[in-house]
Structure 1
Amino acid sequence: MIELFFASAAAVPSLGGPAEIWAAIVKDFSNIGSPSALTAFLQVLMIDIVLAGDNAIVVGALAAGLPADQRKKVIAIGVIAALVLRVAFALMVTWLLGIVGLIFAGGVLLLWVAWRMYRDIGADHGTDSPGSPEIAGDEDSGIKPAKSFVGAAWAVAIADVSMSLDNVLAVAGAAKDHPGIMIVGLVFAVALMGIAANIIAKYIERYRWIAWIGLAVIVYVAIKMIYDGWVDPQLGLGKFVAPFIGG
């Protein structure tokens, strides 16, 4: 039974070596004008922008309240950990998408991310976090800062695992049929988190409509992943659950 949940990994095309990766990128971007490729690219772009800003705000909120030197260290840990995890998950994405039920589970996880974003965008959380000077918008995050350096570092590390997996699954779900766009999207996500996350957080805080568009895209991708993750003939969860439901 266990083999069934991993044997279907072959159903997901392997990214292969550098030559195959480059060929996939060239193929997808040479056809970027096609409706499917353009839609996938725009979805990936919006997901990366919104989640990078959201991730920065979470890290800043958890570090807020600590002394300045400790706060900067925690934020640095958060950014470095996010970069490492995104690279690791990106390298594993083909294998991850080949696990039966993970696409469905990823869609459910993204719905939870969407709910968290909706709550953060639509509500005024006031003084839940004192905010950190390094990250714009984290004072309205609704996240209580950790009380110690060790507590903040652990909280950031745990949050990074979830947020990095969210990001990789969202990008992979949006561009599943376009591996070249998926690869570029994952590289872009890493660059944004490492270089421009705070800038993005500042603009998302100032122009909330950016966040609403990103939220709509994430909800769409989540629903699509849940549907595909249930009905897919090789990787869908439905064909494994149906016999148990039917008795």
Structure 2
Amino acid sequence: MELLSSSAFWIALGSIILTNIVLSGDNAVVIALASRNLPPAQQKKAIFWGSAAAIIMRVVLTVAAVKLLSLPYLKIVGALLLVYIGVQLLTGDDDEDGHDAKDNIWAAIRTILIADLVMSLDNVVAVAAAAQKGPEGSQLMLLVLGLGLSIPLIVFGSTILLKVMERFPIIIVLGAALLGYLAGEMLVSDPVDAEWFQVHVPHAHLVFGVVGAVLVV
């Protein structure tokens, strides 16, 4: 109860929620892309469970954020995986089989989780930093509460994007291109190659982000 009366607790909680919302725009794109080929009833389930599971996974990731980000080659592998996911999501309309992975709710949720895992590697650092603003010993509770309260907002954003994609199919291409762009940025920020790119390639994040987007589309 002492925590609830602490202004530091509420400030930290608000920071986590706000940070997660700001950083979850790309995740909402993936959720909408992965569930767009499902029947309407399954779309809602995929969006909800995909978002909820992704948030739980993000709590776990945040606890180990610093160690994860220091692992060599992790971001390179993540970048390649993100390009693959972007291509698969973009070509989902070409699948005719009604039992294809992209038309299956569990396959959609799996895609959401894998993409969120890759894209959250950087995001969790900001969320972890926000949690440190809280009172001593409250960090885990803040993460669970803050990220949990973010679920409805991510679900809402994904639902809106899904409707926009139905009206404007070009958004699907732009969403897939975004994944490619994020993959390019991730590729040049791995501990193994970040310093080399910084020295030898001006604006490496932008250059390889554009290259990644072009590769996907």
Q: Hey, what does 2:66 align to over in structure 1?
A: 94
Q: Hey, what does 1:4 align to over in structure 2?
A: none
Q: Distance in 2 between matches of 1:212 and 1:156?
A: 18
Residues 186-237 of structure 1 deviation map (CA, whole Å, 9 limit, x = unaligned):
9597454434423322212322232333322321221222233241359xxx
- Alignment of 1:231 with 2:196, yes or no, is no
CA 1:192–1:108: 2 relative to 1, 3 Å? farther
CA 1:190–1:168: 2 relative to 1, 3 Å? farther
CA shift for structure 1 position 167: 3.5
- Alignment of 1:167 with 2:167, yes or no, is no
2:162 to 201, 223, 235: 201
CA shift for structure 1 position 109: 1.3
Residues 94-120 of structure 1 deviation map (CA, whole Å, 9 limit, x = unaligned):
332121211111111111122113323
Q: Distance in 1 between matches of 2:185 and 2:47?
A: 33
The letter for the 1-side match of 2:67 is W
TM-score with structure 2 length normalisation?
0.53
Q: Distance in 2 between matches of 1:189 and 1:104?
A: 28
Q: Distance in 2 between matches of 1:114 and 1:189?
A: 24
CA shift for structure 1 position 127: 5.2
Bigger fraction of residues in helix: 2
- Alignment of 1:179 with 2:151, yes or no, is no
CA 1:129–1:156: 2 relative to 1, 3 Å? same
TM-score with structure 1 length normalisation?
0.48
The letter for the 2-side match of 1:167 is M
Pairwise CA RMSD? 4.6
Q: Hey, what does 2:94 align to over in structure 1?
A: 125
CA 1:195–1:84: 2 relative to 1, 3 Å? farther
How many residue pairs get aligned? The number is 166
CA 1:54–1:167: 2 relative to 1, 3 Å? farther
CA 1:128–1:90: 2 relative to 1, 3 Å? farther
Residues 66-101 of structure 1 deviation map (CA, whole Å, 9 limit, x = unaligned):
xxxxx9877765443233223333443333212121
Q: Point out 4+ residue stretches in structure 1 off by more than 6 angstroms.
A: 71-75
Q: Hey, what does 1:54 align to over in structure 2?
A: 33
Q: Secondary structure at the match of 1:210?
A: helix
Q: Hey, what does 2:133 align to over in structure 1?
A: none
| Structure 1 alignment gaps of length 5 or more | 1-17, 30-40, 65-70, 131-140, 146-151, 235-247
- Identity among equivalent positions (%) equals 20
Q: Distance in 2 between matches of 1:49 and 1:78?
A: 10
Residues 137-196 of structure 1 deviation map (CA, whole Å, 9 limit, x = unaligned):
xxxx87243xxxxxx66x566445413313314xx2xx79x937x97xx95974544344
CA 1:208–1:93: 2 relative to 1, 3 Å? farther
Q: Distance in 1 between matches of 2:28 and 2:44?
A: 23
CA 1:199–1:108: 2 relative to 1, 3 Å? same
